[in-house]
Structure 1
Amino acid sequence: MYKSGRKDQRVSGNLLRKAAELLLDLLYPPVCPFCGQISPGGICDKCRTKIVYISGPRCMRCGKPVRDESYEFCEDCSRQESGITCGLNLWLHKEPVAGALYRFKYHNRRNYGKIFAGELAARYADQLRRWEAEEIIPVPLHRSRRRKRGFNQAEILARELGAAAGIPVRTDVLFRVKKTSPQKSLGKKERQANLKGAFAVSGAWNPGKNVVLIDDIYTTGATLDRAAKMLRKAGARNVYFLTISIGQGI
């Protein structure tokens, strides 16, 4: 009787959520994140022809495109060790992707997160299974930055992807304990110094063998690498990552 009651509650909860989503769609019709036109399917057909999906030869560590298969790693990854086992990205960071991600982060377009995560799930759900991913962990923001922005874009992506792929999402594992400067404005040595002591891992975490970090953009890779090293130090065997976009390789 008790189990039946809990099942009925779950069914009722799912129906309420679906009804709420339908109501929101009526009040605020879904729009394409790239052009802003109403598009019930998310990305409109016209914009889908403009975005560049990552395919073909790519770096075996960061997923950045390389000229041909003779390059196992991109120039950056070939020069340094990393805590990252392997990572993949969805699109090249160029227009219209760059503008959409900027609006997602800085213009409070949180609804874009569901569309982006849906694209990740559609393209990389099989890869998550091959990685035997046990937990998804969003790259955290420092509390002051999160308070100013009102949300963590990586957490939105992680929760949507976790729901689509059926993988637990952990926001109680990795923490940003140091406020850092934007990485893109710094040189290599400055980036490393900037991130020193930036992350901490909960001592209560019982690490999975295979975890997946989620972030919106792979810029220099320094942030993901530092986070991965902290998770590996805490006991994770493999740390993979997925991002929405990445720059052009060699």
Structure 2
Amino acid sequence: MLEYLINLLYPRRCPICGDIVSPRGSLACPSCKTKVKLIEEPRCKKCSKALEFEEQEYCYDCETKKHHYTYGISLWEYDKIMQKSIAAYKYKGRREYADYYIEEFIKHHGNKIIKIAPDLIVPIPIHRSKLKARGYNQAEVLSTGISKAIGIDSLPNLLHRDKKTLPQKQLNDKERLINLQKAFSFSNKEYKRLNKTINKVLLVDDIYTTGSTIEACTRILLDNGIREVFFISVCIGKGF
């Protein structure tokens, strides 16, 4: 009854078109679901960016840079539709959009996550000032939902963002790396609370563009004894 009243007073909006979802009770308008581009083959074997040619194995970025994570999985292409959707999710309080993102990720890639068999799911942290402004960490909402769906523990506070950095989208590749230097730290206190050995970690974020943020967090984890790091993201840029 309470959920019905909440939906009546605050109807769910479609994460793709932004209008009230039709039919009521759905997470997205059925007609909108076909408008977003799933990342399909050919895709980069490392970061999963869409590739232009079947004979390609890696995107230009992964061919020219060393990434220390094992590999990643992304759901949708970061096109204009998803740019608008993610912006509303992060900056306009549309936290409920995560329900659809999670549902679709599990539908298309749940088995791949199970195959990775991570010991722990960890969201990319945001600085406390952004957390205060937004009211939530968008990556943590995703990681919590995925954790519940597949039954693997999530630890939101294993990594901390100590440095308030400039928005990555404003910077070139070199500036992004400099921007993220010493931005993250590893919480030994949180790790000890687990009381078990963690070998594989699955990082969760909303967007992967150049991979600078994922790479910075991967290095922190590897430096602290984690053997392998994988990542998943809702959206990713093109590999060509």
Q: Tell me the TM-score normalised to structure 1 length.
A: 0.88
2:12 maps to amino acid: P
Partner of 1:108: helix, strand, or coil?
coil
Match of 1:30 among 12, 15, 29: 12
| Percent of matched pairs sharing the same residue | 37
The aligned counterpart of 1:148 is: 133
In 2, the alpha carbon distance for the partners of 1:235 and 1:22 equals 47
Structure 2 gaps, min length 5: none
2:10 maps to amino acid: Y
Comparing 201-210 and 100-109, the one that deviates more: 201-210
Question: Are 1:174 and 2:159 an aligned pair?
Answer: yes
Structure 1 gaps, min length 5: 1-18
Q: How far 1:45 moved relative to its partner?
A: 1.6
The aligned counterpart of 1:230 is: 220
2:156 maps to amino acid: T
The alignment of Structure 1 onto Structure 2 pairs a total of residues equal to 232
The aligned counterpart of 1:247 is: 237
1:114 maps to amino acid: D
Match of 2:199 among 202, 209, 215: 209
Q: How far 1:114 moved relative to its partner?
A: 1.4
Deviations 1:128-172 (A, max 9, x none): 111011211000001112112221111111111111111111012
Match of 1:86 among 47, 58, 71: 71
Match of 2:107 among 122, 127, 143: 122
Change over 3 Å in CA distance of 1:238–1:20 after alignment to 2: farther
Q: Work out whether residues 21 and 28 of structure 2, in 8 Å CA contact, stay in contact via their aligned partners in 1.
A: no
Within-5 A mapping of 1:183-202: 183-202=168-187
Task: Mark the structure with the bigger radius of gyration.
Answer: 1
Q: Give the alignment's Cα RMSD to 1 decimal.
A: 1.5
Q: Work out whether residues 82 and 229 of structure 1, in 8 Å CA contact, stay in contact via their aligned partners in 2.
A: no
Deviations 1:171-215 (A, max 9, x none): 121110111111111122211111110110012315521111111
Partner of 1:37: helix, strand, or coil?
coil
Q: How far 1:70 moved relative to its partner?
A: 2.4
